[in-house]
A and B are shown apart, each in its own frame.
Chain A
Amino acid sequence: AQSVTQLGSHVSVSEGALVLLRCNYSSSVPPYLFWYVQYPNQGLQLLLKYTSAATLVKGINGFEAEFKKSETSFHLTKPSAHMSDAAEYFCAVSEYGATNKLIFGTGTLLAVQP
């Protein structure tokens, strides 16, 4: 069965600092991987996705993630944090099959300090 583990339920960074949110997955087949973001009082927004093309995936708002098969990881990074990046971030893997449902991690709440 596929699963996702997000390390760190809360991460705090200073404005301008590197953002690193960790995600490890478990899958017996090549996975599709996603990062979603939820800003306060909003829905889930797709940041980026990996679908077996380039291993370094660029997303919106300056975020990117690198798929590393040997480490079963898909960590999310941004070189310089902005106050507007404060939100909850979810890593997810798409389960193969007729449903193509998403299996989510528990989420990481990112705080950005001035």
Chain B
Amino acid sequence: EAGVTQFPSHSVIEKGQTVTLRCDPISGHDNLYWYRRVMGKEIKFLLHFVKESKQDESGMPNNRFLAERTGGTYSTLKVQPAELEDSGVYFCASSQVFGGSGYTFGSGTRLTVV
């Protein structure tokens, strides 16, 4: 089966610009997660979708971040306007069930804001 796909793999934008990251989960996986790793820090949870509904968005840093999952398939994460501290690697993951099964992660999008 195809894995979790993220694109772009890299993005370099200027401060104040808008960037949209996309994640295509494994087909049939209702749960979709976004995580972020800022350089030198731990990987942190951003939000969780169950199908098209936001189950938990407690990790979203601020209202410059907007995540959507229209139709319960792919998801987008928009950063508008981007700030320098938004630089990092954004990971998407999906899972079919809860309960300690672990997720399948994508390769991540490396975002650099200059």
Contacts and interface: CB of A to CB of B under 8 A. Distances in A.
Interface in A68-114: 90, 92, 94, 97-107
A42 B107 CA distance: 5
23 contacts: A36-B105, A43-B3, A43-B4, A43-B91, A43-B105, A43-B108, A44-B91, A44-B93, A44-B105, A45-B105, A46-B104, A51-B99, A92-B43, A98-B55, A100-B48, A100-B99, A100-B100, A101-B45, A101-B59, A102-B43, A102-B45, A102-B103, A104-B44
Interface in A18-44: 32, 34, 36, 41-44
Chain B interface size range: 20 to 34
Given A49-B100, A51-B100, A101 B48 contact: yes
Interface of B: 3-4, 6, 31, 33, 35, 41-45, 48, 55-56, 59, 91, 93, 98-108
Contacts of A92: 43
Across chains A and B, which 6 residue pairs bring their CB atoms closest together, nearest first? Answer: A32-B100, A44-B105, A51-B100, A43-B107, A99-B56, A104-B43
Nearest to A42: B107
A106 B56 contact: no
Nearest to A49: B102
Nearest to B5: A43
Contacts of B59: 101
B105 A34 contact: no
Interface residues of A, number: 26
Contacts of B93: 44
Contacts of B103: 46, 102
Contact of B43 (A32, A45, A52, A90): A90
Contacts of A49: 100-102
Contacts of A36: 105
A52 B101 CA distance: 12
Contacts of B99: 32, 51, 100
A94 B93 CA distance: 14
